[in-house]
A and B are shown apart, each in its own frame.
Chain A
Amino acid sequence: MLRDELLRLIRNNSRIELKDLAVMLGAEETAVANEIADLEKEGIICGYYTLINWDNTNEEMVDALIEVNVNTSRDLGFDTIAERFYMFDEVKSCYLISGRYDFLLMLEGKTMRQVANFVSSKLSPIEHVTGTATHFIMKRYKDYGTVLGAVRKDCREKMSI
């Protein structure tokens, strides 16, 4: 109960202070602190990140989605192959998916050349990989439920009955 509501509350704002969380959830501060500690220990809360719109910085950043097809064998399952992908720091996300291909990787690089190099020299040579298709992300509109660059404006009349 507390756990579910806590997760829903901090999911979109991980910066609410502990004492405020406790009041908002109608729980004791220690109970909330313990719950968070448990959630971390159980691998349910896996990290706290900051959503950055790099397009608005001077930083050059190129993101790509890469579809990967692989050959599995009796003693080489998806999990083992996945590890060969996700251990690279450049790989931001790695998903096994259903459909026309097996894996979807999200890659972050400084330049398009860097990403292309990664695909040709790191990814493709992996012996189980039978094919890749790279899609560069041209513009990011929405990430993690947040529309990027949209400043929410309160359009209500200031006072109403």
Chain B
Amino acid sequence: MRDPISKVARQMQPSGIRKFFDVVAEMPDAISLGVGEPDFDTPWHIREAGIYSLEKGRTFYTSNAGMPELKREVAAYYQRRHGLEYDPRTETFITVGGSEAIDMAMRAILDPGDEVIIPEPCYVSYVPCAVMTGAKAVTIPLQEKNEFKLTPEELLGAITDRTKVLMLAFPNNPTGAIMTREDLEPIAKICLEKDLLVITDEIYAELTYSGEHATIAAFPGMQERTVIINGFSKAYAMTGWRLGFAAGPREIITQMVKLHQFAIMCAPTTSQYAGLEALRYGDEDIAMMRESYNQRRRYVVNELNDMGLHCFEPFGAFYVFPSIRSLNMTSDEFATRLLESEKLAVVPGTAFGSCGEGFIRISYAYSLAELKEALSRIRHFIRGLI
């Protein structure tokens, strides 16, 4: 038989961490600090809006780009948070999670041969989505000494004649790093000078613990060259609803919607009704959850530093990214041995790019009691090494 698999699919690197995840799944007594999703349930009023829509028989497709009311709420959200004006009809669009929005943005913008700059460590889908378009992913290893922010020098060093897109992802998974207005300003300037487009994954925007989240789209001249990716998963604890959105220039959004129409048709209708409730009446839920994450963030950072695992202070998302370099082992070894001897799972930093070597990702989306237990196991593990 001929090779049933396409070259693109075959050449795509599978996510290396899957094997480790499978090992963890086979250990029922293992506990974990390895999840990438909130520990809160979706607030009930949001769930109820979904249920209610089902009761009323709202079980049909919506318009391809999403329900008009929901797109209006997305536009209102950007107005409210950043003072940005988007035409809800042509410049916003509802997706199946931030995941789909990332994919569609890359497909709409990139051609084979184009280069897209992707700072690492980062979420695992950016490079594969870029590669799927035939573009080349040019990664920048971000430095802990810069608190894992992208510096203008690093960016300039990666730009070539072929560079078309800069991928930004702050607050960051896995480092928890954020970029403030001041940090973004020189980056925006370079994008304007070098005529770069920006795809910015701001799915953790609402989980920022130092000042307000800043978006690069808010700098003069940037809105027309930036696609913002966002979603409901993290801010409203709605991972399973598979709902996200994008906002950007009409020209790009139009193409994204076209591709989405063929691939997806429309985002789940029930979820869109729930999302409408979330954007309209969910600000208090966000404030409550953010405060709670922030308390646990302080607790975990303090504990890790106390046990000698150096950890820069992350001001976003729900992850800390401590260095394990002082222990003379690789991230993989650390994670494997921690799992074997303490039955505790964490994610090795290398799952997010090779520059994650020497780090592990710890999620603090767990109860205080669970964090206490898990951190005491790490403490015990480290003590056994010295």
Cβ-defined contact, B302 with A161, below 8 A: no
Of the stretches B34-42, B247-255, B269-277, the one at the interface is B34-42
A75 within 8 A of B: no
Cβ-defined contact, B298 with A161, below 8 A: no
Closest CB of chain A to B215's CB: distance in Å? 23
Instruction: Enumerate chain A residues within 8 angstroms of B20, measured Cβ to Cβ.
Output: 159
Cβ-defined contact, B295 with A161, below 8 A: no
Closest CB of chain A to B21's CB: distance in Å? 4
Closest CB of chain B to A92's CB: distance in Å? 28
A156 within 8 A of B: yes
A-B contact pairs, 22 of them (CB 8 A): A8-B291, A13-B368, A23-B299, A24-B296, A24-B298, A24-B299, A24-B368, A25-B295, A25-B298, A158-B21, A158-B25, A158-B30, A158-B35, A158-B345, A159-B21, A159-B25, A159-B32, A159-B34, A159-B345, A160-B37, A161-B15, A161-B36
Please, which residue of chain A has its CB at the minimum distance from the CB of B346? A159
Select B347's contact among A16, A20, A24, A161, beta carbons within 8 Å: A161
B24 within 8 A of A: yes
B124 within 8 A of A: yes
Cβ-defined contact, A154 with B39, below 8 A: yes
Closest CB of chain B to A161's CB: distance in Å? 5
Instruction: Enumerate chain A residues within 8 angstroms of B351, measured Cβ to Cβ.
Output: 161
Instruction: Enumerate chain B residues within 8 angstroms of A23, measured Cβ to Cβ.
Output: 298-299, 302
Closest CB of chain B to A16's CB: distance in Å? 7
Cβ-defined contact, B39 with A159, below 8 A: no
Cβ-defined contact, A26 with B32, below 8 A: no
Cβ-defined contact, B123 with A16, below 8 A: no
Cβ-defined contact, B30 with A24, below 8 A: no
Cβ-defined contact, B35 with A20, below 8 A: no
A9 within 8 A of B: yes
Closest CB of chain B to A46's CB: distance in Å? 23
Given known pairs A16-B368, A20-B368, A161-B124, the reply for A156 and B295 (CB within 8 Å) is no
Inter-chain pairs besides A25-B295, A157-B35, 14 sampled, C-beta below 8 Å: A24-B295, A24-B296, A156-B35, A156-B37, A158-B21, A158-B345, A159-B17, A159-B20, A159-B24, A159-B35, A160-B36, A160-B37, A161-B15, A161-B173
CB within 8 Å of B: which A118-161 residues: 154, 156-161
Closest CB of chain A to B97's CB: distance in Å? 13
A5 within 8 A of B: yes
Chain A 1-37 against B: per-residue CB contact (8 Å), 1 yes, 0 no?
Answer: 0000100110001001000100111100000000000
Closest CB of chain A to B301's CB: distance in Å? 9
Instruction: Enumerate chain B residues within 8 angstroms of A157, measured Cβ to Cβ.
Output: 25, 35
Distance of A8 Cα from B20 Cα, bound (Å): 38
Distance of A20 Cα from B25 Cα, bound (Å): 31
Distance of A22 Cα from B35 Cα, bound (Å): 26
Instruction: Enumerate chain A residues within 8 angstroms of B15, measured Cβ to Cβ.
Output: 161
Distance of A55 Cα from B83 Cα, bound (Å): 54
Instruction: Enumerate chain B residues within 8 angstroms of A25, measured Cβ to Cβ.
Output: 295, 298
Please, which residue of chain A has its CB at the minimum distance from the CB of B28? A158
Distance of A98 Cα from B124 Cα, bound (Å): 58
Distance of A157 Cα from B21 Cα, bound (Å): 10
Closest CB of chain B to A4's CB: distance in Å? 10
Instruction: Enumerate chain B residues within 8 angstroms of A26, measured Cβ to Cβ.
Output: 298
Instruction: Enumerate chain B residues within 8 angstroms of A8, measured Cβ to Cβ.
Output: 291
Closest CB of chain A to B250's CB: distance in Å? 32
Chain B 123-158 against A: per-residue CB contact (8 Å), 1 yes, 0 no?
Answer: 110000000000000000000000000000000000
Chain A 107-124 against B: per-residue CB contact (8 Å), 1 yes, 0 no?
Answer: 000000000000000000
Distance of A23 Cα from B294 Cα, bound (Å): 11
Instruction: Enumerate chain A residues within 8 angstroms of B32, measured Cβ to Cβ.
Output: 158-159
Distance of A154 Cα from B276 Cα, bound (Å): 26
Instruction: Enumerate chain A residues within 8 angstroms of B25, measured Cβ to Cβ.
Output: 157-159
Chain B CB within 10 Å, residue with most, of A13, A156, A161: A161
Please, which residue of chain A has its CB at the minimum distance from the CB of B27? A158
Distance of A8 Cα from B289 Cα, bound (Å): 12
Please, which residue of chain A has its CB at the minimum distance from the CB of B297? A24
Distance of A154 Cα from B228 Cα, bound (Å): 31
Distance of A9 Cα from B20 Cα, bound (Å): 36
Instruction: Enumerate chain B residues within 8 angstroms of A9, measured Cβ to Cβ.
Output: 295
Instruction: Enumerate chain B residues within 8 angstroms of A159, measured Cβ to Cβ.
Output: 17, 20-21, 24-25, 32, 34-35, 345, 347
